[in-house]
Amino acid sequence: MIDPITFSIIRHRLFRVVDEAVITLKHVSGSAITNEGHDLMVSLYRADGSLLMGGVGFLHHLTSAAEACKSIIRRFAGRINKGDVYLLNDPYTAALHTSDVYLVAPIHFNGKLVAWSACFVHVYDIGAVNPGGFCPDAESMYAEGFSTTGLRLIKEGELDRDIWDTILNMVRSPEMVALDINSMIACNNVARERMIALIDKYGDKTFDEACQTLIEQSEQQLRTRLKELPDGQWRSRQYLTVKDKVETVVLCMTKKDDELCFDFTGTSLQSPYAVNCTKWASLGGLFAPIFPLLCYDITWNEGVIRPITMIAPEGSLVNCNKPAPVSVATVGAIQSVNNAACSTIGKMLNASEKYAKEATAVWHANHFAIFMFGQNQHNKESIGIFTETFAGAGGARTYADGVDVGGEIPNPISRMANVETTENTFPIRYLFRRKMTDSGGAGRYRGGSGMEFAVVPHDAPDGGIDYVMSGKGSEFPMSEGLGGGYPGSPNSYLWVKNNELTPEQQDRAKFSQSIDAMEAAKEVVDWGVFPLRGKDALYVSWNGGGGYGDPLDRPVEEVLSDIANGNTSVEFANNIYGVVTNGEGLVEEAATKDRRATLLATRKTA
């Protein structure tokens, strides 16, 4: 049996290997989505492809990249050599969508395959019908760009130029895609070198024993935790809309003894639109909240996968059949799976005296994808996402408000770019970007606020740019509340048609500081490709987190603080929290008492 000190050292070295590999990836990649948004992932896998050390970044990928490793092992059996690097991005094999390209690399020690490193970035472009890879126009996966079930990009240390050139010949901005792929090659190189150094120091036998122990330890720890939680069944329902078609993801999570089952029976049939996801993507989507919510102090590896089962009906939104389009999956069905799992896990934790403090309402549930594309002010073709989507909003906890603009559950390191970074890359100017009032779900503890922003064209050689909107609707709130808390607000995407204004009105519109101050007609835009040209503006607001507990239990002074900090409006405070204020922002105590009594009475007589 391995001694505990050596085991602990190896465990921590594995964490550091992943950390250094992530840093390498970020240093080489030139994409804002990678460097700013942290839409990336690096993890380590055992020789058989099972997860050894889940890294940070988008956690949806931890299990999917394991499947990518296993698929490569099957496909290239007997031909996997030291120095190889494989590329895979087929969603029906393992990936989430074609833009999220996996590079997986075997790690050999003394001629024997001992482990794998795997990483992904959302590449700059993948040659799909829409720039950036999210394809609201796709009717099947055949419009969603380059896709492979596995290619040996590097053979024994030598780059295969034919493959490299073929990929880059099929994408827009090949120089940026090349940088993305190079970043993953560098990342895997660093991971491999550090792993070999680690194994060399402690010996392959000790290393293998440590890995085996680590996985067994994680499994034991999760099973012990599950046993401490109550047995039961919890349900969630997520709606997402595309072009007025409402799709539903239905989840029933059953916990018995030391096992958890996630059953998506009842979910809508697969959609003609690209919001579907494959079963590997669904599995990733439900594990993304499992890791941080149930395994916050457990190493993320194969051990925590073993007690979990998933039922995803074939031909449904969460397990679609080829060639259904899936390019919007990461903000579509996968996100809904993630939200539903977050909701049911939150309810289960909230049913436990011991673990209630770990419960949370749903975080930033309406992750959105808006990709700009066009000639920028430097006369170069530019493609990129509004990284604001990664800024998120925290769900309320059972003891505290959700964190305003507090990120998202599936990516512990997500963040957004500075305004100036985006303005330097695209010919746009921000009119404003700030917290969104009333976006956090009401409750004893309030959901964290989301944000709002508006942009206009600026210094654009072509008079503006275009953008791909994969908003999958803004009709239904998605950040569910917990234990009586309200859901967070839905998203909103508006095309503000300043071009139709008079010159005087356009002058005023140049510096509009709120959506209400914008005089022009507004059109909802949530699915398709749209122009941003001339004087027009694009306005976006995104959801807050879900609230927790009864809003009438929120202390008056905390509501007043919310008003002062811009989190809550006077109207919202009155209607939802029952707090009445005067024109100076001070509480009207008698009126507040009456208002709260009235709201309570309304409930009892409903």
Partner 1 sequence: MRYSNALNIKTEQGIKMLCCSRCNTTVSPADEPWKKSAVLLERPMHELAGPYTTGEKVLLRSFACPHCGVLLDTELAQEGDDFLDDRLF
Minimum distance, C-beta of residue 352 to partner 1, in the bound complex (Å): 7
Q: Which residues bind partner 1 (CB under 8 A)?
A: 230-237, 239, 246, 256, 347, 350-353, 356, 398, 436-439, 474-477, 480-481, 483-487, 489-490, 492, 541, 548-553, 569, 571-572, 574-576, 600-604, 606
Rank residues 246 and 269 by Cβ distance to partner 1 and give the closer one: 246
Report how far residue 237's alpha carbon sits from residue 266's, in angstroms, rounded to the nearest whole number.
10
Q: Is the separation of the CB atoms in 126 and 108 below 8 Å?
A: no
Report how far residue 127's alpha carbon sits from residue 227's, in angstroms, rounded to the nearest whole number.
48
Report how far residue 272's alpha carbon sits from residue 45's, in angstroms, rounded to the nearest whole number.
35
Minimum distance, C-beta of residue 496 to partner 1, in the bound complex (Å): 15
Minimum distance, C-beta of residue 257 to partner 1, in the bound complex (Å): 10
Rank residues 389 and 541 by Cβ distance to partner 1 and give the closer one: 541
Is the torsion defined by CA of 558, 416, 61, 269 positive or negative? positive
Minimum distance, C-beta of residue 566 to partner 1, in the bound complex (Å): 13
Is the torsion defined by CA of 135, 141, 143, 144 positive or negative? positive
Minimum distance, C-beta of residue 81 to partner 1, in the bound complex (Å): 52
Rank residues 233 and 421 by Cβ distance to partner 1 and give the closer one: 233
Rank residues 110 and 602 by Cβ distance to partner 1 and give the closer one: 602
Report how far residue 240's alpha carbon sits from residue 475's, in angstroms, rounded to the nearest whole number.
8
Minimum distance, C-beta of residue 361 to partner 1, in the bound complex (Å): 10
Q: Is the separation of the CB atoms in 9 and 43 below 8 Å?
A: no
Would you mind telling me the total number of residues written for the chain in this entry? 606
Task: Kindly provide the b/e burial profile for residues 400-433, where b requires at least 16 CB atoms within 10 angstroms of the residue's own CB.
Answer: ebbbbbbbbbbbeebebbebeebbebbbbbebbb
- 248, containing H or E segment: strand 245-256
Q: Is the separation of the CB atoms in 366 and 450 below 8 Å?
A: no
Minimum distance, C-beta of residue 206 to partner 1, in the bound complex (Å): 43
Rank residues 234 and 530 by Cβ distance to partner 1 and give the closer one: 234
Minimum distance, C-beta of residue 245 to partner 1, in the bound complex (Å): 12
Rank residues 171 and 362 by Cβ distance to partner 1 and give the closer one: 362
Minimum distance, C-beta of residue 517 to partner 1, in the bound complex (Å): 16
Q: Residue 225: CB partners within 8 Å, gap ≥ 6? A: 294, 298, 355
Q: What is the 3-state secondary structure (H, E, C) of 563-596?
A: HHCCCCCHHHHHHHHCCCECCCCCECHHHHHHHH
Rank residues 216 and 550 by Cβ distance to partner 1 and give the closer one: 550
Q: Residue 237: CB partners within 8 Å, gap ≥ 6? A: 248, 249, 250, 251, 340
Rank residues 159 and 356 by Cβ distance to partner 1 and give the closer one: 356
Rank residues 319 and 492 by Cβ distance to partner 1 and give the closer one: 492
Q: Side by side, which strands form the sheet with 522-524?
A: 428-435, 451-457, 537-541, 492-496, 522-524
